[in-house]
């Protein structure tokens, strides 16, 4: 599978109240650790034990990121056989990624990047 790597400045997990929340959520979804969680869950629910082994952040950081993604509706959390499982809400993710305003924000960001590089 091909992998796209996006370079950026590390951000806080929680969005600022002063910024457009939709823009912040979109930015946070592309933050590498959050994106890694989403990619890990794209093929179906995974137990916390698997995520802890595969995601390269501390347990506290992983808990914070999972909580944020649950709060924003991108993940759900279920318990089965005394183990916690996380699932990706593909519809919610598509809703954000396919939003027309978000495409404009991505396009504007790419234009700024292009002007910076050229």
Predicted pLDDT at 108: 61
Write the burial class of residue 47 (CB in 10 Å: 0-12 exposed, 13-18 middle, 19+ buried).
middle
Domain range enclosing 82: 21-117
Look at residue 5 and tell me if it is in a domain. Answer: no
SS3 percent helix, strand, coil of the chain, rounded to 5, is 55, 10, 35
Look at residue 64 and tell me if it is in a domain. Answer: yes
Look at residue 79 and tell me if it is in a domain. Answer: yes
- Which CATH number characterizes residue 97's domain? 1.10.10.10
Look at residue 49 and tell me if it is in a domain. Answer: yes
Look at residue 15 and tell me if it is in a domain. Answer: no
pLDDT tens across the length of the chain (118 residues)? 444 333 333 334 444 443 466 677 777 777 888 888 998 998 999 999 999 999 989 999 999 999 999 998 899 999 998 999 999 998 888 887 776 665 565 556 566 656 656 5
Overall number of domains in the chain: 1
Look at residue 104 and tell me if it is in a domain. Answer: yes
Q: What are the backbone angles phi and psi of residue 5, rounded to the nearest 5°?
A: -110, 125
Look at residue 10 and tell me if it is in a domain. Answer: no
């Amino acid at each position: 599978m091909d992998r796209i790597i996006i370079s950026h400045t590390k951000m806080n997990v929680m969005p600022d109240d002063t910024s457009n929340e939709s823009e912040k959520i979109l930015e946070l979804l592309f933050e590498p650790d959050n994106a890694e969680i989403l990619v890990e869950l794209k093929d179906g629910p995974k137990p916390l034990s698997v995520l802890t082994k595969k995601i390269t952040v501390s347990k506290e950081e992983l808990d914070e990121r999972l909580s944020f993604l649950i709060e924003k509706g991108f993940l759900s959390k279920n318990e089965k056989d005394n183990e916690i499982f996380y699932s990706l809400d593909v519809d919610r993710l598509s809703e954000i990624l396919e939003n027309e305003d978000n495409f404009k924000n991505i396009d504007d960001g790419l234009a700024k990047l292009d002007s910076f590089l050229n």
